Amino acid sequence: MSVRKRKDRWGKTNVVVDRRWPDGPRFRRIFPTRRLAEEVDARIKAAICSGSWKELREELARGEEARKVTLVEFSERYIEDYCRLKNRAWVRKRDSMRALCPVFGKKPLEDIRPDDLDKYFKLRKKAGISDATLYRDRAHLKHLMNFAIRRGVIKENPISLVEKFKEERRMHRRPTEAELDRFLDSSEPRVRPLFGFIRETGCRLSESLRVQHSHVNRDQRLVVFTDGTKSGKFRLVPLTDDALRWIDEMPVHPTCPYIFWNPRTGRRWRIVRKPIDAAIKASGLDWFHIKDLRRHYGIRLAEGGAEMHVIQAMLGHSSVETTEDYYAHFSPNYAAKRALQVLQGGAGREAGAHGRQSGGASDASKCA
């Protein structure tokens, strides 16, 4: 049915008209009463039959612009028409809307002001919400506003002047090599190769679950992560001897192209939450997260002297600033070492050039 009642994510019952125009775009709008919704739906149906639907669509669009749209109404459109289609991290944006809408969801988008956001921050901080979560809520609300501008719902972003605030990063406990070994030894044999592969490549759990045999180049000892990456871009990561060993511990399935598949179903793993929790409980590492395997990989690179842009490329971060925020402090003397290398290398080149120009002076300096 094109007219139906629907409960939104905050428990409110709305009357929705949901139709497709003949050329494909979707018309969906929330109405205060069922009678009004049915009238608009009947007009659309009649216009499609008569062929005048393009004029009606323009009229309804002008009415949408003239009407003040609330955050609750537009957040549904934002999640369904943009985030679910174009954004891999759409669930996080949905969670932000779930937090924002109960506070000022009935307020029109164009009437939301920086003061309203300040009140939201104070209210959420009293509830114990971290600065990192509030920072993302602000970013997602700003993105929603920009999307509303592109769709002609509002003319300017009312919270564009809200300044960013510095996130307070807390140091997460760093697992030792022995603790990582204990976690792997405590895991079930059917998922142990998966966890070991993450440890040796630094990939995200979601990325490892999508790796296929065709993504592995044994001659060049490389694996390409191309499906399900957070940035939407592929990246090449070298394979260590241990990484290849973990791959070889998984037998090749005759019909499943994925490396890590569930022996019980014969298909690739999709949800590994229960095996992870079981391994954490069996190892006694209550503080452990599966992401610690990825963090450990980045720490190894940082302490081994790898440059930040190299670590960024291996971990698939969107910017080197993100990498520096998390891993630069693991190599506190790295900048000094690099500066010394540059200075000494520069001095050597200058001495060589001077020697070529002065000839005997170079020989005299060697004797000295």
Instruction: Note whether 183 and 292 are same-domain residues.
Output: yes
So what's the pLDDT on residue 204? 93
So what's the pLDDT on residue 312? 93
Domain presence at residue 108: yes
Last residue of a domain, one of 67, 90, 110: 67
Last residue of a domain, one of 162, 187, 218: 162
What CATH number is associated with residue 81? 1.10.150.130
Residues 136 and 96: beta-carbon distance below 8 Å: yes
Question: Which residue range(s) make up the domain with 116?
Answer: 70-162
Last residue of a domain, one of 48, 67, 86: 67
So what's the pLDDT on residue 61? 74
Residue 241 has a CB neighbour count (10 Å cut-off) of: 8
So what's the pLDDT on residue 350? 43
Instruction: Note whether 101 and 134 are same-domain residues.
Output: yes
Instruction: Note whether 8 and 96 are same-domain residues.
Output: no
10-residue averages of pLDDT along the chain (368 residues): 69 77 84 80 90 86 67 85 77 88 84 87 88 86 89 81 59 86 95 96 93 94 86 88 95 94 90 94 94 93 88 90 81 66 61 42 36
So what's the pLDDT on residue 365? 34
What CATH number is associated with residue 201? 1.10.443.10
So what's the pLDDT on residue 243? 95
Domain presence at residue 365: no
- The helix (H) or strand (E) run that includes residue 77 is helix 71-78
What is residue 123's three-state secondary structure?
A: helix
Instruction: Note whether 40 and 110 are same-domain residues.
Output: no
Residues 266 and 253: beta-carbon distance below 8 Å: yes
Residues 200 and 213: beta-carbon distance below 8 Å: no
Instruction: Note whether 209 and 285 are same-domain residues.
Output: yes
Q: Which residues of 43-77 are buried (b: 16+ CB within 10 A; e: fewer)?
A: ebeebeeeeebeebbeebeeeeeeeebbbbbbbbb
Instruction: Note whether 53 and 78 are same-domain residues.
Output: no
Instruction: Note whether 186 and 286 are same-domain residues.
Output: yes
Domain presence at residue 354: no
Instruction: Note whether 319 and 190 are same-domain residues.
Output: yes
Instruction: Note whether 311 and 185 are same-domain residues.
Output: yes
Domain presence at residue 142: yes
So what's the pLDDT on residue 235? 92
Instruction: Note whether 9 and 128 are same-domain residues.
Output: no
Domain presence at residue 9: yes
Domain count of the fold of the chain: 3
Instruction: Note whether 81 and 185 are same-domain residues.
Output: no
- The helix (H) or strand (E) run that includes residue 315 is helix 308-315
Domain presence at residue 275: yes
Domain presence at residue 115: yes
Domain presence at residue 5: yes
Instruction: Note whether 103 and 193 are same-domain residues.
Output: no
